[in-house]
Structure 1
């Protein structure tokens, strides 16, 4: 399988559910055991051979640009700014990064997911061109979920799921981890054109889950699921999520030398 050299990270949102942590910095820079969520993602991308990363920024964009710079380890960083981050969804942020998407095979990440390296490696197993990491949907989760077909591809997206949707007899639900591998062919022929279509129609509040649901249902996109049942990860949207992530990664998160950067960011924001 082709080695992917590019990635896009969506990190423009307000992170209002994570206040007061996000009063002074964007959600992607909130730290778990001293490591910002975004730094963990960048280090993992570097480890799987990525060379160029485009980060879509909005809320507290200067903090991300200061923390990551134009080069992070061996990664070249490019920033795309959303000036309407407070009234648009993640699909609009993805549309803003369309020039990067058109350059070829790409990893797509949300900037609020803490995950271990093997989750990215799982995206490169098998022959599928488009792959998303998934894990079983459990009673602590909420939001979008997917149902898998027997062949391992996503058959259906279901929005606004909760523990109540895990009833006996229903299809097993899986939570998408917002770590996706996308082929350059489908980015050019299906994904970016559909982004152009929905943004042109004014649907700027759509989320990426809605985007992929429609692409699968209406445009024939094939999106395989890489099951990461035994891997450590968590999507951090709230204070409760942050506490859970701290528990999950108590002994598994790689420590970096970013403490000084965080301290300067926090001091400068006061």
Structure 2
């Protein structure tokens, strides 16, 4: 099998969910099409990817799929995007959605995004620049409870355990829903998910369950500490308010070279386009 290591990673965005905990905001809108700080959540994500040189996208859709397609096709004419439809979005979870991307991703390296995460581009730049093959973005400054996907690492930041049932006392922090998966490991992730989904009991499993199974088999995953960088997951109306407080202005698309100049000069970001 030939692995594709000589091109920027794909972006795989999981956006099939209903967003029921965000009602009434999602009564007439897909969660990923809500506006935060003057920019649609999905627009922020795609522009951040473009800023980091990622130009090929796989969107796994379900709820309000046509609306999301229409938005992306209108807002981002010319980008390479493949839509994958999860017709079972009402009775499955992120593990099933990610599994459906297998045929499109093939043996390419990819970065997987939960479509309800709003984040500073700096997080993605550091993830893309990491030399490690499989990397999870981790925030240590989180009050860990049952809802969070918790991660335990060793002294070299290699992941030992991941999942919502991980002991919060032993955990380093929360996995924020953005990961880089290598060209070699990707097919292994999809194989685990396919095996899991053969049992109806696993329909509601999260994709992290596949990571955990591979970690148990010795496949290396590492944590990237992004503590202090801006990000938030939007699950509830309260989360939505936090997101608008953190990200109060429209997204910008800034190239790597432009950002380096801005950082060195200490100036404000470029105007939105």
Pairing partner for 2:236 from 235, 238, 242:
238
Q: Give CA deviations for 1:29-63 in whole Å, capped at 9, x if unaligned.
A: 11111211111110011111112101000001111
Question: What number of residue pairs does the alignment pair up?
Answer: 249
Q: How many angstroms apart in 1 are the aligned matches of 2:248 and 2:78?
A: 27
Root mean square deviation, CA, Å: 2.2
Q: Give yes or no for contact 1:35–1:256 (8 Å, CA) kept in 2.
A: no
Structure-2 residue corresponding to 1:151: 156
Q: Specify which of 185, 191, 194 is matched with residue 192 of structure 2.
A: 194
SS at 1:179 equivalent: strand
Aligned to 1:16: 20
Cα distance, 1:137 vs structure 2:
4.5
Provide Cα deviations, 1:200-230, integer angstroms capped at 9, x if missing partner.
233221111222222212x322111111112
Please report the TM-score for the alignment, with normalisation by the length of structure 2: 0.84
CA contact (8 A) 1:28 1:111 kept: yes
Q: Structure 2: where are the runs of 5+ without partners?
A: 253-270
Which residue of the partner structure matches residue 180 of structure 1? 179
Shift of 1:159: 1.2
SS across alignment from 1:87 = coil
- The answer for the alignment partner of 1:213 in structure 2 is 212
Structure 2: distance between partners of 1:103 and 1:71: 28
Decide whether aligned partners of structure 1 residues 62 and 123 sit closer, same or farther in structure 2, where only a CA change above 3 A counts: same
| SS of corresponding position for 2:128 | coil
Q: Could you tell which deviates more after superposition, 232-241 or 247-256?
A: 247-256
Residue 157 of structure 1: CA displacement?
1.7
Q: Residue in 2 aligned with 1:135?
A: 139
Alpha-carbon displacement from aligned partner over 1:169-216 (angstroms, at most 9, x marks no partner): x3353111111111111112x211111111123322111122222221
Matched, 1:52 2:51: no
Deviation string, structure 1 residues 225-258 (Cα, Å, up to 9, x no partner): 111112100000000101111112236854756x
Task: Give unmatched runs, 5+ long, in structure 1.
Answer: 258-270
Aligned residue for 2:203?
Answer: 204
Output one character per residue of 1:94-137: Cα deviation in whole Å (capped at 9) or x when no partner: 01111123141111111000001111111134431011111115
Mark the CA change 1:123 to 1:73 in structure 2 (over 3 Å): closer, same or farther.
farther
Structure 1 distance, partners of 2:55, 2:24, is 34
Which moves more between the two structures, 239-248 or 196-205?
A: 196-205
